[in-house]
Amino acid sequence: MTVKLGVPSKGRLMEKTFEWFAKRGVTLSRTGSDREYAGAVDGIEGVTLVLLSAGEIPRELAAGRIHLGVTGTDLIHEKLPLWEQQVEPVEELGFGNADLVLAVPQGWVDVDLTDDLDAVAAMFRARHGFRLRIATKYHRLVREFLREAGVADYALVDSQGATEGTVANETAEAIADITSSGETLRANHLKVLSDGLILASQATLWRSRGAALDDADRIVLRALLERLG
């Protein structure tokens, strides 16, 4: 067997992850053609690179099919309700910073806190006959956050992309989405609630708590973690 390391298969996240490992003497690379998702690991024996979509890495870690994986805190928390029992954070990688935030139109001068949002949701429902809609793809995290904040009379509507545009298009009244600089939000005339930070996320190296290891794997994993730590 070998120790399996799951890494995002494309884009800046993959490049930054490769750089981060390279600085620690572990060279990750893609092999074969540009389109083939195969990879190689140099600098340490007994480790296999598995290229995956960042969104699938939580599931693979939880199932124990990979021993280590790089993905965002947001995806781990959203996809694994019992994440603390299934995975353990090894290192924060210092990039891929993104916050999951709750945002409303800038023109809502009367709304700055989740407390305001709750009051507005009640009035909105009374006036329009349906619950105030919040567009997001992070259903579980947003619902837990709003329950904790005591917000009622809202509905989550699924939005898998261009979420910032849903308010202007009148398919939602507020949104909960990932932002790094807030520029897209501002460009779409939205503002983040003062207490609307749902989760601060960054790319993180996780270790599966459930992946099987033989004695040889255990030695390799320890050596690898020492190198990375």
Partner 1 sequence: MALRDGFVAQGAVAVETPILQPAELLLDLYGEDIRARAYVTSDALRGEQMLRPDFTVPVVQMHMAHGAEPARYTYAGEVFRRQEDDPDRANEFLQVGYEVFDRVNPAAADAEVFALFAQAVAHLGLRAATGDIGILTSAVNGLRTTERRKAALRRHIWRPRRFRTLLDRFAGRADIPETRQALLDGTAVSHAPLIGLRGPSEIRERVDALRSDAAEPPISAVEMDGLDALLAVRETLPFAVQHLRDLAVDLPAIARAVSKMEARIEALSARGVDVDTLEFETSFGRTSMEYYDGFVFGFYAESRPDLPAIASGGRYDALTRRLGNGQEIPAVGGVLRPGLMVDLEVAT
In the list 60, 118, 177, 217, the residue contacting partner 1 (rule: CB under 8 A) is 118
| Number of residues counted as binding partner 1 (CB under 8 A) | 41
Task: Note whether 210 binds partner 1 by CB under 8 A.
Answer: no
Q: How far is CA 199 from CA 102, 155, 168, in A?
A: 10, 20, 25
- In the complex, the smallest distance separating the C-beta of residue 106 from partner 1, rounded to whole angstroms, is 4
Produce one character per residue of 135-158: b if its CB has 16 or more CB atoms within 10 Å, e if not. bbbbeebbbbbbeebebebbebbe
Is the CB of residue 101 less than 8 Å from the CB of residue 196?
yes
Who's near 223: CB < 8 A, 6+ residues apart? Answer: 44
In the list 7, 26, 156, 228, the residue contacting partner 1 (rule: CB under 8 A) is 156
Nearest CB to partner 1, comparing residues 91 and 116: 116
Nearest CB to partner 1, comparing residues 16 and 143: 143
Q: Is 176 left (phi over 0), alpha (psi -120 to 50) or beta?
A: beta
Nearest CB to partner 1, comparing residues 20 and 138: 138
Nearest CB to partner 1, comparing residues 24 and 186: 186
Nearest CB to partner 1, comparing residues 92 and 110: 110
**Which one of 91-99, 176-184, 187-195, 214-222 is the stretch in contact with partner 1 (CB under 8 A)?**
187-195
- In the complex, the smallest distance separating the C-beta of residue 99 from partner 1, rounded to whole angstroms, is 20
Task: Note whether 194 binds partner 1 by CB under 8 A.
Answer: yes
71, containing H or E segment: strand 68-72
Nearest CB to partner 1, comparing residues 95 and 108: 108
**Burial, 172: exposed, middle or buried (Cβ in 10 Å; 0-12, 13-18, 19+)?**
buried
Binding mask 120-149 for partner 1 (x = CB under 8 A): x-xxx--xx--x-------xx--xx-xx--
**Burial, 204: exposed, middle or buried (Cβ in 10 Å; 0-12, 13-18, 19+)?**
buried
Q: Residue 77 in 3-state DSSP?
A: helix
Structure token digits, residue 157: 């509507």
Residue 35 φ/ψ, nearest 5 degrees = -90, -5
Binding site for partner 1 (CB under 8 A): 81-82, 105-110, 112-113, 115-116, 118-120, 122-124, 127-128, 131, 139-140, 143-144, 146-147, 150, 152-156, 167-168, 170, 172-173, 188-189, 194
